[in-house]
């Protein structure tokens, strides 16, 4: 839709050109959300496209994803064969309530900064123990763990004018075995629950990341694979019955049920050392 309040679109070649931030400014990534409803408080868009950050950079340390990387680019990315968790990229892209048309415009960083419970790029990068590089205005960059970024439904730790620059996923997480579970009330609908489990082959630990069912990501780490009872107790201790996200995509009680059901499936699957992934 047209944004009638917008009177200027800035296209900086470097983020440093934006030295002063004022009310009415907004970073523009793919625009799939920004152009989907009126933005009464915004008069100036600052387009990130001209920054020309390389979308995906591999190194011995792992993968760096630019915030401006399109969902479609991530979908097409395979990664080295030893990155056994790389199939999660596609599975999480497939968890959008969105067609490939949205994938060609929407960005990984835009999805993270929207900070919706059903943001699959949040699920992906949190489960893969990513860190986010943030560029505040006027002070040095800072790094934060992905799991700490989203603070609630559509809220996060970004300060005024702060930019998400990139997402770094360590090779240690990319080399783990994983299990993925996802449910939506309708085909290609918004996620009601998206859970990812990962385990390190050497130490046999278990990391379970719960998203969509809760307003912000919840992570449980077990040094050794827990029993079914231990897992259920740990979930209930971390998420009270009223701590689930209640919306048109599923009641809190339904999402609580899905969370326990999927977490147990993940535990059982990853406890099997012979599992293919
Ligand atoms: C049909 C449809 C289906 C959708 N389905 C889903 C879904 O299933 N799950 C979901 O989570 N969302 C969904 N969305 C919402 C949205 O389109 C996605 O979250 C998308 O990934 C946002 O990315 P974008 O690049 O288009 O962001 P934009 O619309 O450009 O920006 C979104 C917000 O993030 C800010 N922003 C963007 N990039 C940065 C950055 N690097 N640093 C700081 N701030 C930044 C912008 O200022 C804006 O406030 C859907 C939208 C549509 C139209």
Position 273 scores a pLDDT of 66
Joined tokens for residue 102: 């949205």
Distance between CA atoms of 105 and 57, rounded to whole angstroms? 20
CA dist 59 → 80, 82, 170, 197 (Å): 10, 13, 10, 24
Q: Pick the residue whose CA is nearest to atom 36 on ligand 1.
A: 110
- Candidate from 111, 118, 164 with most ligand 1 atoms within 8 A of CB, to mutate: 111
For residue 256, is pLDDT > 70? yes
DSSP letters spanning 184-196: ESSTT--EEEEEE
* 3-state DSSP of 71-86: HHHHHHCCCCCCCCCC
Q: How far is the CA of 249 from the centre of ligand 1 (A)?
A: 18
Q: How far is the CA of 106 from the centre of ligand 1 (A)?
A: 6
Q: pLDDT at residue 69 above 70? A: yes
Quickly tell me which residue has 């009330």 as its tokens: 185
List pLDDT tens digits, range 174-208.
999 999 999 999 877 789 999 999 999 888 899 99
- What is the DSSP track for 155-179? EESPPTT-EEEEEEEEHHHHTSEEE
The pLDDT of residue 143 is 98
3-state DSSP percent of the chain in helix, strand and coil, to 5: 30, 25, 45
pLDDT value of position 276: 45
Residue whose token pair is 């943001």: 119
Kindly give the pairing relationship between strand 163-170 and strand 155-156: unpaired
Atom of ligand 1 nearest to the CA of 28: 30
Burial label for 97, CB within 10 Å (0-12, 13-18, 19+), is: middle
pLDDT tens profile 92-144: 999 987 777 788 999 999 999 999 999 999 999 999 999 999 999 989 999 99
> Separation of 130 CA from ligand 1 center, angstroms?
19
Instruction: Indicate if the pLDDT at residue 274 is higher than 70.
Output: no
Q: Is the pLDDT of residue 232 over 60?
A: yes
What is the distance in A from the centroid of ligand 1 to the CA of 226? 36
Work out the mean pLDDT of the chain and round it to a whole number: 94
What whole-number distance in Å separates Cα of residue 112 and Cα of residue 67? 9
Q: What is the pLDDT of residue 2?
A: 86
Q: What spacing in Å lies between the alpha carbon of 199 and ligand 1's midpoint?
A: 30
**Ligand 1: nearest atom to the Cα of 95:** 8
pLDDT at 277 over 60: no
Q: Ligand 1 atom 47: the closest Cα is on which residue?
A: 27
Residue 11: pLDDT band (50, 70, 90) is very high
The predicted pLDDT at position 239 comes to 98
What's the rounded mean pLDDT across residues 31-44?
95
Cα(150) to ligand 1 centroid in Å equals 14
* Residue ranges lining ligand 1, Cβ < 6 Å: 26-34, 36, 48, 67, 96-98, 102, 105-107, 109-111, 113-114, 116, 118-119, 158, 163-164, 190
Residue 202: its pLDDT value, please?
Answer: 86
What phi, psi does 217 have (nearest 5°)? -60, 140
| Closest by Cα among 209, 211, 213 to 192 | 213
- Which atom of ligand 1 lies closest to the CA of 35? 29
Q: How many CB atoms lie within 10 A of CB 158?
A: 18
The protein residue with its alpha carbon nearest to ligand 1, atom 43, reads: 163
For the ranges 17-26, 69-78, 150-159, 268-277, the lowest mean pLDDT is seen at: 268-277
* pLDDT above 70 for 275: no
Pick the closest to residue 165 from 57, 273, 45 (CA basis): 57
Give the pTM: 0.96
Distance 33 CA to ligand 1 centre (A): 5
């Amino acid at each position: 839709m047209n944004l009638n309040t917008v009177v200027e679109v800035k296209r900086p070649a470097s983020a440093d050109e934006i030295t002063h931030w004022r009310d009415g400014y907004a970073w523009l990534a793919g625009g799939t959300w920004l152009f989907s409803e009126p933005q009464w408080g915004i008069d100036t868009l600052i387009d990130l496209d001209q920054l020309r950050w390389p979308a995906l950079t591999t190194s011995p340390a792992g993968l760096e994803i630019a915030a401006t990387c399109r969902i479609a680019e991530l979908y097409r990315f395979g990664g080295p064969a030893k990155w056994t968790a790389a199939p999660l990229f596609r599975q999480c892209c497939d968890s959008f309530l969105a067609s490939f048309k949205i994938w060609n415009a929407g960005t990984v960083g835009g999805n993270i900064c929207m900070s919706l419970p059903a943001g699959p790029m949040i699920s992906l990068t949190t489960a893969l123990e990513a860190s986010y590089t943030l560029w505040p205005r006027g002070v040095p960059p800072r790094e934060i763990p992905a799991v700490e970024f989203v603070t609630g439904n559509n809220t996060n730790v970004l300060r005024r004018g702060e930019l998400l620059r990139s997402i770094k996923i360590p090779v240690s997480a990319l080399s783990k075995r994983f299990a993925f579970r996802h449910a939506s009330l309708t085909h290609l609908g918004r996620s009601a629950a998206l859970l990812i489990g990962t385990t390190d082959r050497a130490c046999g630990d278990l990391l379970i990341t719960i998203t969509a069912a809760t307003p912000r990501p919840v992570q449980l780490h077990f040094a050794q694979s827990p029993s079914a009872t231990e897992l259920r107790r740990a979930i209930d201790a971390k998420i009270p019955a009223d701590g689930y996200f209640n919306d048109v995509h599923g009641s809190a009680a339904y999402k609580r049920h899905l969370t326990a059901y999927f977490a147990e499936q993940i535990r059982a699957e990853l406890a099997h050392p012979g599992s293919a992934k």
